[in-house]
């Protein structure tokens, strides 16, 4: 799946089934279901990609302290762009999984 194809699924009533669950989390996030996205992030804590997702979600939530904690756990720097830019970066990265 490409990035434009994934973005096109955002208007569907359910997430695509043929993608990694990290992308499903970002689908839920884009469709205003932060809780479902967060559940997926929590499902594999300690895994770099899941911790990156977790950091993004807490940054989006406005909990910067918690976001920094998860960026550190993911061994990542705090993202300095917009939330939309981080979402796009994560989607593109997770499409390679």
Instruction: List the helix and strand counts (H, then E) for the chain.
Output: 6, 0
Question: What gap in Å lies between CA 54 and CA 88, rounded to an integer?
Answer: 15
Mean local confidence (pLDDT), 9-15 = 98
pLDDT (0 to 100) of residue 55:
98
Tokens of 56: 């993004």
pLDDT in the model for residue 43 = 98
pLDDT of residue 56: 98
Phi-psi region of 76 (alpha: psi -120 to 50; beta: other; left: phi over 0): beta
Angle subtended at Cα 28 by Cα 24 and Cα 29, rounded to the nearest 5 degrees: 115
Q: What is the pLDDT of residues 52-96, one digit of tens each?
A: 999 999 999 999 999 999 999 999 999 999 999 999 999 999 999
> What pTM did the predictor assign?
0.96
How confident is the model over 33-49, as pLDDT tens digits? 999 999 999 999 999 99
Q: What Rg do the C-alpha atoms of the chain give, in angstroms?
A: 12
Encoded tokens for 95: 């499409």
């Amino acid at each position: 799946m490409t990035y434009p194809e994934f973005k096109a699924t955002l208007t569907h009533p359910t997430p695509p089934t043929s993608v990694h669950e990290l992308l499903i989390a970002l689908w839920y996030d884009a469709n205003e279901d932060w809780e479902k996205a967060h559940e997926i992030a929590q499902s594999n804590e300690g895994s770099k990609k899941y911790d990156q997702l977790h950091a993004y979600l807490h940054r989006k939530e406005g909990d910067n302290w918690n976001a920094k904690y998860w960026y550190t756990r993911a061994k990542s720097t705090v993202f300095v762009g917009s939330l939309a830019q981080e979402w796009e970066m994560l989607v593109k990265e997770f499409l390679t999984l």
